[in-house]
Chain A
């Protein structure tokens, strides 16, 4: 209206700067909370994933709380008076602002993408996920068909079997030596399963007709959960196994003792529940594929002991 020079809005600017400082501190604090939300970190890949996730959590907190504070501000201070039916000042756009909020997010997401590609590469150095397209057959358990894989992982509806061809051992509990890169050759006999150990932060579909080698370097001794992460049918949820990470000596000792044990049925929660249903001890629902019989293994192991993650 008038040409009187407006006073520079110092109080507003200082308030905004203070808020941005607070928001930044809060975002950094949120990023630092990440380890509390995740399972223990038990592989060489895990700290890299956690570091990336912490960074993203800080950025996400800044963006989300920043947007929400604008929304809260307008809802608190830009409400129309009860009987005010007038319009607000008609501002239709601002090209400089549009360019700003196009370029800044673009730089930000490309920065995140660049950082992530570095992490990808680093994880790749630790354990590249080779995807050999060689047709798999479960009977070819001999070491000759193991390109870099020391352990053969066979997924079925609904059990996990782990074979150590060199030691001549099979088990329904996965044992791994600590601080050594171990190749796992993933094969499925029926449908797609997912090999997922949350404590390792690694996941890979197990695809019938393919043999996929996954390299993992466990870094923390303990007992962890392996879960089927790709929906695989009726007993998908019960298709879990335990992963035991132990010292090289304990691992070798376990292999030695296991190789002398006679074969016996391994763990299969699905088979147990299915048998209960057949005997009428457990109600059943719609028709289902029958579980594959529990694999015959030297060591069934356990999947009921307390696990670390």
Chain B
């Protein structure tokens, strides 16, 4: 070990568990400020709620397998679809992405932890708190909220029993807490990325995942206050009788739609941007080529942020907005296709002529890209006003949305979990189970969500608890796909648990990937590089170029091999 000049041998020889971060299960149930612990807390919590939201979805698909409202009462169906959407967005996809942010950002930029570790832990612990509040709404008289995850007034203000504590009030409380938690997280991620990068890691050398996280979290900071303010006014209308949105008191229900979509459309980019980041990280690793056009891919994220904030009215084309507004917001929505296209073409060019390795992570990334492109072309259709007027609020939109959120985003999250699983658990996953998970997920996703497009074109409205018999055929197929998706979770969870408990030990860099996180042991010690952060000397993704990423890279790698 004579040649490890400038490298802290303590890290390289760090035994596991690392002192100060005992490798026991208790730390995951405590107010731990280690970003890697918080990341796993986020991901495990999110996966639990994925099961809850998925179960609700399967009951819904059970109801929809026949035209009549027969499996559950209509009120129950309405509560189920409301809670399904709310849980999947606020308790699954946002937390799971924050989990990835926590695991990846500090390691990728060479920071020891997040900028504000206590704020970080507080932001996480709000998730189970509002999760419990939301689940408790199943138990209050009158049942949970049942006006959809948009919660449009006046229907969301109708309170049949007249109680002060009702499902809708708890729903608003939970969503507001979720917003506060996300803002706390966003402050942390943005600060960490801007202030705590390793020496030499200029913004132009930062991994794309960090670029997309920075972009997404900026949207959170700009957009969430609008939703939170709108939600507070809704709570006032519901609980204390104000008339912000009540027409009989001079309020305007359409005003809420503006508040809601000003945040909730950009929210889709909060979800998909980090997944773009995951694609940009994984394709170079498994194609053994540099990311094609790094500056364009990084810049496209910022363009998407700007455009995402000026498209929200495309959710409101039939809401009584004037024609000029429809035209303007159609054009802005169309423009988003351009930076998104730049990314898709960059990934294709990265894959082109590569040496592809199709392990589970790569399969999920490719499957996610496939689904994303399909969602993209239906998105362009939805942007054009006359077509949107026909399919707005039909299953066409539900299909498009689920191709984005499940087909692309959730599959991208699976790809990320498999890719970085060895890094953060220290164990390899089982490829066989992983590939089975991929096959079931890919087939299930397309069986479940493709049929929604013909249904929407035929005119089947979303959120219906019963439907005309002509819609039965495609609904049966969608339901079968949904049940298959339910089954697909089994090999996934089996793989995670068994690999973590007894999977083969992982080396520091099992995929021969380039990036600071792969210069750390698996799992990384509590403070990552501690005081000996390597100096970055070149742009990321230098596959095949032979140029080192950091100073003294050879010594660091040799030392890692010995541990």
Contact = CB atoms under 8 A, between A and B. Distances in A.
Contact of B253 (A93, A117, A208): A208
Contact of B384 (A56, A86, A238): A56
A67 B348 contact: yes
A52 B387 contact: yes
Interface stretch (B40-48, B147-155, B258-266): B147-155
Interface in A150-185: none
Given A64-B377, A106-B338, A198 B253 contact: no
A25 interface: no
A37 B470 CA distance: 12
B175 to A, nearest CB: 17
A84 interface: yes
Contacts of A84: 355
A209 B288 contact: no
A283 to B, nearest CB: 6
Contacts of B152: 192, 230-231
B31 interface: no
Contact of B73 (A67, A129, A283): A283
B387 A56 contact: yes
Given A56-B384, A238-B466, A98 B73 contact: no
Given A225-B468, A289-B160, A209 B248 contact: yes
Nearest to A64: B377
A61 B348 CA distance: 17
Contacts of A52: 384, 386-387
Given A91-B292, A286-B143, A112 B318 contact: no
A287 B247 contact: no
Contacts of B291: 92
A64 B326 CA distance: 26
Contact of A203 (B79, B392, B454): B392
Contact of A196 (B142, B289, B459): B459
B345 interface: yes
A13 to B, nearest CB: 16
A230 B69 contact: no
A53 B147 CA distance: 31
Interface in A241-300: 273, 283-289
A53 B387 contact: yes
Interface string A99-140: 001100110011011001101100110001101000000000
Interface string A195-206: 010110111110
Contact of B355 (A88, A93, A233, A288): A88
Contacts of B341: 101-102, 105
B464 interface: yes
Given A37-B454, A74-B356, A109 B380 contact: yes
Interface in A210-244: 210, 212, 225, 227-238, 240
Nearest to B372: A67
A201 B293 contact: no
Interface stretch (A3-11, A14-22, A75-83, A141-149): A75-83
Contact of B386 (A49, A90, A209): A49
A75 B73 CA distance: 47
B30 interface: no
A97 B345 CA distance: 9
A157 to B, nearest CB: 8
A207 B545 CA distance: 61
B288 A194 contact: no
B338 A39 contact: no
B168 to A, nearest CB: 12
Contacts of B69: 237-238
Contacts of A85: 512
A216 to B, nearest CB: 12
A209 B253 contact: yes
A106 B341 CA distance: 9
A129 B323 contact: yes
Nearest to B377: A60
Contact of B78 (A60, A75, A234): A234
Interface residues of B, number: 101
Interface string B147-182: 110001011001011000000000000000000000
B293 A98 contact: yes
A189 B20 CA distance: 64
B342 A208 contact: no
B127 interface: no
Nearest to B357: A80
Given A56-B380, A287-B142, A78 B355 contact: yes
Contact of A190 (B154, B378, B390, B543): B154
A194 B393 contact: yes
Contacts of B331: 110, 113
Contacts of A273: 74
A100 B295 CA distance: 16
B233 interface: no
A86 B327 CA distance: 51
Interface string B287-313: 111111111100000000000000000
Most buried by B among A80, A106, A198, A237: A237
A284 B73 CA distance: 6
A39 B460 CA distance: 11
In order of increasing CB-CB distance, the 4 nearest A-B pairs are A198-B459, A209-B247, A285-B73, A286-B143
Given A74-B287, A205-B318, 19 more contacts: A49-B387, A60-B381, A61-B377, A78-B356, A79-B355, A79-B356, A87-B544, A97-B293, A109-B335, A192-B154, A192-B155, A192-B253, A204-B318, A227-B461, A229-B394, A233-B78, A284-B75, A286-B73, A287-B142
Interface of B: 69, 72-76, 78-79, 141-144, 146-148, 152, 154-155, 158, 160-161, 247-248, 252-254, 287-296, 318-323, 326-327, 330-331, 334-335, 337-338, 341-342, 344-345, 348-349, 351-358, 366, 369-370, 373-374, 376-378, 380-381, 384-387, 389-390, 392-394, 454, 457-459, 461-468, 512, 541-545
